[in-house]
Amino acid sequence: MTTKKNIYILAIESSCDDTSVAVLENDKVLSNVVANQEIHSQYGGVVPELASRAHQQNIIPVVHQALLKAKVNKKDLDAIAFTKGPGLLGSLLVGTSFAKSMALALNIPLISVNHMQAHILAHFIDDEKQQKPTFPFLCLTISGGHTQIVKINNYFDMEIIGETTDDAVGEAFDKSAKILGLPYPGGPLIDKYAQLGNPKAFEFPHPKTENPLDFSFSGLKTSILYFIQRNEAKDPNFIKDNLNDICASIQFTIVNILMEKIKLAIEKTGIQQIAIAGGVSANSGIRNVLQNASKEFGWKTYIPKFEYTTDNAAMIGIVGYHKYLEKDFDTLSVVATARMKF
């Protein structure tokens, strides 16, 4: 009898401002190290040049740490997976070049991964704290760069059925936070203050889109800006005195917009399995509303473990593992791509 060999994959994620490296044994995560780049908070957003430079500084120590934590020797690795795109080109180039060099040095396969597919397939990481969806399911992919409703037919058969026509939902959170004078990234801060405020204190409009499954957040951002300017003109302490209520009302509006679209997508596709993915799926508002909706409407909902929501290399590793099983490898001439569809 032959026993099946375990597959060890080292995965690298460097698409934006987090340098992350993970080591997986099959679909289990042995380590998932994330080095955040604090440098950007003082600029109110990610500065691409500084991000690339920080990736250069972080990548070797983060790779070392990930291998050490996983207790895996680099000689035992079966493949190197890395984020090919979408993302900031300078940031992607650091991970891509490092992944190529490592695969070449170890003489093992190289596997390129689509970052957005990885956010979705993070649901297939084998972890006792999360349940794996069955196909087909819908995924609301909500991050700093994307907002999509995706129909997932299989690991690599995905179809975008709705997406933002302007800002991503993460940007809506971050830009609203900036209007309120909060540092970048403001999404988690809005979430934190929202939990102490009244979600119905203030009302903001829901945007209309030509395709009802698409999203639009730029109008919301403008209406929040005018609302703040109007109220600050009357009372200079308006933000300070109402921060929790303002954050709760913004979050309530955004979560309601997301839920309207999910309901419509379920109606149109008849699929009642809903997953969320991407950085904004860390938001407590969307998590609560989805959990309640699953009870109320009988939907099956999949909410990823917190550490697999924001950018991380474990999600790159799980895609790497499934591509490895398919022997879907890349050559050393593969190039990073800033804009990339599925």
Binding site for ligand KG4 (CB under 6 A): 16, 143-145, 170, 173-174, 185, 187-188, 191, 278-280, 282-283, 310-311
Chosen residue from 143, 147, 249, 301 binding Zn ion by CB under 5 A:
143
Which is closer to ligand KG4, CB of 31 or CB of 114? 114
Task: Provide the residue type at 76 as one letter.
Answer: D
Q: Which stretch binds Zn ion (CB under 5 A): 45-53, 75-83, 309-317, 318-326?
A: 309-317
- Dig out the tokens for 195 from the structure: 């939990």
- When CB distances are held under 5 to 8 angstroms depending on the partner's kind, the choice from Zn ion, ligand KG4, none that residue 249 binds is none
Residues facing 22 on adjacent strands: 11, 32
Strand order from edge to edge, sheet including 28-36 = 28-36, 18-25, 8-13, 79-85, 110-114
What does the alpha-carbon distance between residue 9 and residue 139 come to, in Å, rounded to a whole number?
A: 25
- Which option in ligand KG4, Zn ion, none does residue 133 bind, with CB closer than 5 to 8 A by kind? none
Q: Which amino acid is at 161?
A: I
**Residue 3 carries which DSSP code?**
P
| DSSP-H helix ranges across the chain | 48-70, 89-106, 115-121, 169-179, 187-194, 218-234, 238-269, 284-297, 314-325
Q: Least distance from C-beta 174 to ligand KG4, angstroms?
A: 5
Which CB sits closer to ligand KG4, 109 or 144?
144
Q: Does 311 bind Zn ion (CB under 5 A)?
A: yes
With CB under 5 to 8 Å by kind, the binding choice for 320 among Zn ion, ligand KG4, none is none
Q: Which does 282 bind (CB under 5 to 8 A by kind): Zn ion, ligand KG4, none?
A: ligand KG4
Options 60-68, 86-94, 140-148, 198-206: segment touching Zn ion (CB under 5 A)? 140-148
Q: Does 301 bind Zn ion (CB under 5 A)?
A: no
Alpha carbon distance 62, 32 (integer Å): 10
Choice between 110 and 258, CB closer to ligand KG4: 258
Region of 278 please: left (phi>0), alpha (psi -120 to 50) or beta.
Answer: left
Residues lying near Zn ion in the complex (CB under 5 A) are found at 143, 311
